[in-house]
Structure 1
């Protein structure tokens, strides 16, 4: 149906309407007052409908496009990725009293050890002009009686294709918080029976007045004992410290990698 709206019939109607109103506009100074009054009413009604279409279209077209994988990438980047949750609509869209091991789409899983979950998680549509990701993830935490809260984000198989110790892996995030929290990110790389882990704290020194920050962390694989021939998979953990009575919105998460410059 949407395709038919802008099909041949629509173009024909539009051409006739444009021709009709163009003819009226050229002769508008010749009409008597009674005819002008009726014509003005018709023109105002038409303008109201056109203004509504333009207003809604401008609003929707201003949003980040669903499926967008666009974000700044480092020089010589050989792989980059925005996980599904921040790129496409997921199912379920959200959960109240979310239990541990809840999944959101195919790549994100929630972990916590609360005895009674008072945690709500929901995918939201990003609408700000400077948002590059189409979607974000909002977490509302009320009473929290657990010792940890984390999100596990699975990377696709392409993330470890030809992965070497000379690679640098970068994670960029756009975060909004009601109060300043400590959030750590842990890069995990499984190779054979072993798993390499690198941990970085997200730097929130430049938190804006509305609690928004764009942050970046890098992991240098030269500091690992990764067996390049046996790399199987990669995933990222986001660990949130003391989240009680807070709201966290992850507006964007994206990962990229690049080889270190040869010396």
Structure 2
């Protein structure tokens, strides 16, 4: 009740202030010069705050919404997800001279075998009109002396719950890079003592990249599925900057024949 009363009072005060300034503007041609000078000083102070509010609000409201889990997905998907790195601000936004097994957030881990790391990872705010994800991931690679570089994304328990060989796992991503390279996506499914792996190359010539993993061609033990994770494997990454603007997952059942 107190909140409603305060809201009503605030609306009344705002309406009264708006009416007062409207009347002052309408009478400005005939207002006494001494009073007009005082009104101008007050109006300028007020205008500075209003201009700042408009500037900040237009900038923030134009950005993708933080925490957004909205993205195109198959109509028959029984699970869909965007990892935290692309949803909201992380406690630590970046890492330099990244060592192998370093994590950014709770779900992303970088692996490599460089003796001396010249890699950086940083979460960046997406600002393009076309972006649905609030954040992206930028990876800068300078000299690279290792034989492999991969980014592992741990999928939540919901992704593996009820998983069947009739399922298709789909990933959608948007990738920007300074110069061409190859990126492979490897889906890993741990079931009991075994791990199924399916590898697909990302079609980087497309702006919106989609890859599907068909579990029908695996030896998945449906009763022992424990967890899933995705490895993004970068081939020839040296002297390059790669930005993953978005990364989303979805799961659906294959149509029955």
TM-score of the alignment, normalized to the shorter chain, above 0.5:
yes
Q: SS at 1:18's partner residue?
A: helix
Structure 2 equivalent of residue 209 of structure 1: none
5 Å-filtered alignment, 1:48-63, equals 48-63=48-63
Structure 2 equivalent of residue 77 of structure 1: 77
Give yes or no for contact 1:91–1:104 (8 Å, CA) kept in 2: no
Unpaired runs of at least 5, structure 1: 207-212
Q: Distance in 2 between matches of 1:55 and 1:35?
A: 30
Q: Which of the numbers 248, 251, 255 marks the counterpart of 2:245?
A: 251
Q: Distance in 1 between matches of 2:69 and 2:202?
A: 22
Q: SS at 1:199's partner residue?
A: strand
5 Å-filtered alignment, 1:24-43, equals 24-32=24-32, 35-36=35-36, 38-43=38-43
Q: Distance in 2 between matches of 1:52 and 1:11?
A: 21
- State the Cα RMSD in Å: 2.1
Q: Distance in 2 between matches of 1:93 and 1:149?
A: 20
Q: Distance in 2 between matches of 1:232 and 1:8?
A: 54
Structure 2 equivalent of residue 21 of structure 1: 21
Structure 1 equivalent of residue 217 of structure 2: 223
Q: Distance in 1 between matches of 2:23 and 2:92?
A: 54
Q: Distance in 2 between matches of 1:48 and 1:227?
A: 65
Cα offsets for 1:45-65 (capped at 9, x unmatched): 433321221111010111111
Give yes or no for contact 2:175–2:204 (8 Å, CA) kept in 1: no
What displacement does 1:41 show? Answer: 4.9
In the TM superposition, structure 1's runs of 4+ consecutive aligned residues that sit over 3 Å from their partners are 6-13, 25-30, 32-45
What displacement does 1:14 show? Answer: 2.4
Give yes or no for contact 2:183–2:234 (8 Å, CA) kept in 1: yes
What displacement does 1:222 show? Answer: 0.8
* Number of equivalent positions: 253
5 Å-filtered alignment, 1:204-215, equals 204-206=204-206, 213-215=207-209
Which region of structure 1 is more displaced relative to structure 2, 237-246 or 10-19? 10-19
